[in-house]
């Protein structure tokens, strides 16, 4: 084994607000244990699943990797601390690393082999697909008074197979002896909650039932990736950068489930 990709984490922002110690133990402390174990085993490359939540509430402009980091949830803080562990160990021990900051992961394998299987999903496109197929009740819209174009939160959605390909490209980069890196993994374009719900409705051919609620603690108004560094650094180009394509994949996977 010459490389470790670390995907395991707790990743539900509202849960982290209620259970911060659980999130720090799982996302920070155990990342440290895994990095230590990798070093002891002679592993030279470490790739961490990080998150756009490290940025906090940054406004509507795309956010670059060198933007000041001000996470607003224990989830974001716990993942930022995990990044620091990886970076510090890299400097001290020569571990080559990539901290990959995911934006909102969505969709499913285009061949239908895998997809998000969480029953009580909080990811919007997954939840909208469940609502479209009557596998859950009305879809909750948390917050309609954000300073965005339609009052709902804006996010950058990255299709899961494109995300996978970015990991392989990062591994190839590090195996070639190139410098360690921290990268946004997104498309550089944001969609509001209402726009996503409309896209799923277009694919399924009927409106999605919704219910409006207040904001959730820890949710920024808008988080969209600046992706110039990603495009310039890795041999990676997205294949599924289309909201309705992503929605169709999520619906197909939900029907299969």
Catalytically annotated residues: 75
Is residue 230 within 8 Å of residue 162, measured between CB atoms?
no
Please name the residue that has the structure tokens 């160990």: 89
- Rounded to whole angstroms, how far apart are CA atoms 25 and 8? 12
Phi then psi dihedrals of residue 29, to 5 deg: -60, -50
- Rounded to whole angstroms, how far apart are CA atoms 22 and 35? 19
- Rounded to whole angstroms, how far apart are CA atoms 87 and 100? 12
Could you tell me which residues come within 8 angstroms of residue 187 by beta carbon, excluding any fewer than 6 positions away?
A: 103, 156, 157, 158, 225, 227, 238, 241
Angle (CA) 189-252-122 rounded to 5° is 60
DSSP assignments along 144-179, one per residue: S-SSSSSSS-EE-EEEHHHHHHHHHHHHHHHHTTPP
Please name the residue that has the structure tokens 């993994």: 185
């Amino acid at each position: 084994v010459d490389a470790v990709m670390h995907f395991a984490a707790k990743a539900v922002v509202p849960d982290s607000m209620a259970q911060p110690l659980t999130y720090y133990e799982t996302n920070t402390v155990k990342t440290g244990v895994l990095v230590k174990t990798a070093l002891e085993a002679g592993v030279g490359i470490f790739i961490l699943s990080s998150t756009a939540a490290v940025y906090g509430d940054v406004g509507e402009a795309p956010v670059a990797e060198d933007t000041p980091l001000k996470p607003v949830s224990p989830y974001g803080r716990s993942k930022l601390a995990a990044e620091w562990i990886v970076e510090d160990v890299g400097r001290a021990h020569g571990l080559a690393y990539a901290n990959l900051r995911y934006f909102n992961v969505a969709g499913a394998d285009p061949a239908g082999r895998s997809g998000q299987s969480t029953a009580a999903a909080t990811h919007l496109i997954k939840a909208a697909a469940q609502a479209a197929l009557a596998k859950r009740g009305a879809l909750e819209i948390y917050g309609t008074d954000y300073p965005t174009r339609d009052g709902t939160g804006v996010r950058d959605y990255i299709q899961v197979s494109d995300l996978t390909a970015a990991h392989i490209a990062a591994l190839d980069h590090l195996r070639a002896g190139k410098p360690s890196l921290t990268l946004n993994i997104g498309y550089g374009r944001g969609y509001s909650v209402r726009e996503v719900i409309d896209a799923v409705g277009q694919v399924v051919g009927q409106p999605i039932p919704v219910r409006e609620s207040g904001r959730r603690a820890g949710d920024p108004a808008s988080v969209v990736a600046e992706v110039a560094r990603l495009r310039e650094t890795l041999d990676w180009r997205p294949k599924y950068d289309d909201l309705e394509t992503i929605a169709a994949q999520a619906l197909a996977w939900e029907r299969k489930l």
